[in-house]
Structure 1
Amino acid sequence: MDIAELKRRACEAVDKNADKIIAFGESVFAEPEMGFKEFKTAKKVQDMLDELGIEHQDGVAITGVIAPLKGRSSKVRLALMGELDAIVAPGHRCADPVTGAAHSCGHHVQIATIMGAAMALKESGIMSELDGDIVLMGVPAEEGVELEYRHGLIKEGKLSFIGGKQEFIKLGVFDDIDMMLMQHTDGSDKVAAGGPVGMGYVAKLVYYKGKEAHAGGAPWDGVNALQAAKIGLMAIDAQRETFRDKDNVRVHPIITKGGDLVNVVPADVRIETFCRANNMEAIEDASMKVNRALKAGADAVGAEVEIVDIPGYMTPYECLEMKAIVEDNLALIYGKENVVPGVGYTTEANDVAHLIPVVHCTIGGAEGIAHSSHYEIRDKDSAYIKATKMLLCSAIDLLANGAEKGLSVKKNFKAPMTKEEYLRTWGHLDV
């Protein structure tokens, strides 16, 4: 069947289900959950797939959901991915009153577009015209946050990474996936198919250990872990002029525990931080300098410090051939005048992109600052409906006509590393 006709059928099916797609996203928006805790959100995805009669695998990396759809033949396997988790923004109108979680980063839209793709693929019947499979994925925990909680899951053997896509890599979810496509809503009126410049990072858990004493009566009998942390943080600030402008280094610590009681010398102080940059060499350099500074704080007052380095997310790696296909469909859906060069994100989609071709689009339609209490979707047609059409039209281009374009992308892509290299060198795992 003609590709244009397949796209017409897919887009028509999206339009028929527009209200249902938006309603699904708004339902997720109303019940935000943090990463690896998205049980209600995963259940919504499971229920929708059940309603559509699509088989699915649940509980992947704790809350992930995977639903494969078979094509006429299986020459290429394309993953369409949406994220399940929220961020903390306690002042948001839809924030969870207990956890402070809120969907102020657009992940509720992502997963709604994946469910929209499921609806349209089932209704249109176009899978029987495609020479490749589409694997729908709801992935947990894109936001690399709550480090102590996630590190606890790692110590318990429940996880190996802090990010859902990273864990998918480790579990072999991508072993038979040839390429992956996803999108993310931002506040622009324009759209873009990713970009070459984005951030990666190493995460750190920092534990300062001092000695308790009466803070008013005999503070000299104690060792103040909070003072050690303060000196360590000041020492980090003293390093900032050594970070090159072109590397875009960002170090942004928070103190998650500053002591136990105001009249007790703090003996247990904890910090979480990222060391971000736009290239791996700069990340490693910043990480080394930050560790040195943190240790200096402990040495200054006679405290102890434990620094746990956790693999964060890698910097972007683009597949330009697949990106061009997606850009054509962005132009088809949004108008060529609205397609602009994009920048990369800090996301574990970058990690996947080092193994298989990945395109991570940015789609306009939001307002307010991301990760703030004011983020909302202002243009639901752009964010939900047109984004779903873009995903489907790109999938059709990749998988129609014998999956000619998909096979070309697969053949020409030169992965920077193998799965085993990734797990060993970035994940520090025995493989």
Structure 2
Amino acid sequence: MSHLNLAKLFALSTLSTLLIACGGGSDGSPSNNGGSTNPPTTQTDLFTVKAKEWSFQGNTTEAQCYDIDLQQAANCSGTDWDIKAVMNRGTPTFSSNGGASGNGKAAVLYSPFDATWANLSKLIDANKQGNDAIPASAWSQDAYSNGFTATTGYSFLEYNLFGDHRMSPNFKIYFVTTDTKNLNTVGTEDKPVYAVQIYNYYNQSGTSGYISIRYIDTRYPDVVKTIENVDATNGWAYLDLKSGVATNSATQPWQLAFNRYNVQTNTGIGSTIGLQPTGFYDADSKPIINKFKSATVFVDTLAELKELPTTVKQVNSWTNNGVKSLLNPAYKGAYGREPLNFGWYTYYSTDALAAPVGLKAHMIKANPEAASLIRGNTGNSYARLHLKDVKYADPSNASSATTWTFELDIQPAK
């Protein structure tokens, strides 16, 4: 789901409003709770390390990393890094050492589109916004991106539809192929295509993170198989749709893997959305509660699963497994008509677009007002950061070497 966790999105939207005033009162001073005459509590600024800089080169394809705890560049091949930049055709892809990108506890709060350096600079504790604690669900680890998550609209779960903070499946159907070169939704004996529904997120005792799916090999739509109560509560659970077996080992054959609401597909396996069964959403894409609540919903959606290979004979494309991070938001703008804003920086595709900012076509300018907050890989240190500058070795040549410089304020581990 996140890569779509609606609880996380709600927490982030709430924090965005709190970010405006980080001290309690409108002037940034602590609020006077209940009219108390007690003197305000003095709050200590925990960002004790200010204005550290991390510079990396734009003319290399080698990964370049930074360690918040050591407050310096780090070896990306080790485990003690927090932020990674990998250059591709002159621009970086960023990741953090957690989730799909690493084995650490690193996570991100806010994409560079969602926070400003001016507002984040008011923070005195990365665990709080004003007097309010930041919920753990608001921090986002890098996650896999594929047909189960990289689609518009809804993912396969809805959150808190009944005020009980539970996840409700919407019975969306996904195609999973073992041959991404073939766009047909019906596969072969050697390279089958499956149609998959996630229909439950809880085991019999009501514990979350237990995945139940039903699926078909699209050659045999009347042969419906199920894999029930897959324990995805502590690491990845790997499913082999051919044998119907789930294991905790990636060394066995598998096509899908679950880690709570996160999904990944195996190397060479493609996926895409097939169908949202009818009746779950209205014309404004809002959930229809009675449909989710229906006691017969499991039976009602079976026919659409079985009929799907005859109604959808081909897909436009298959989505392979990738990784997404809040550090890499989708750009805004239209190529050739307006600058492309990537959050951290803006790219100018023509001389006409670049001239107003003193650049030439295909040059990049930092957006120093954009910012983010990151938790380190150990889970107990933090940094706010913004891209301070992108400097060209030859300011008149877009192809010349670049140096990218981030500024960080760090809250060291206690």
TM-score (normalizing by structure 2): 0.29
If the length of structure 1 is used for normalisation, what is the TM-score? 0.28
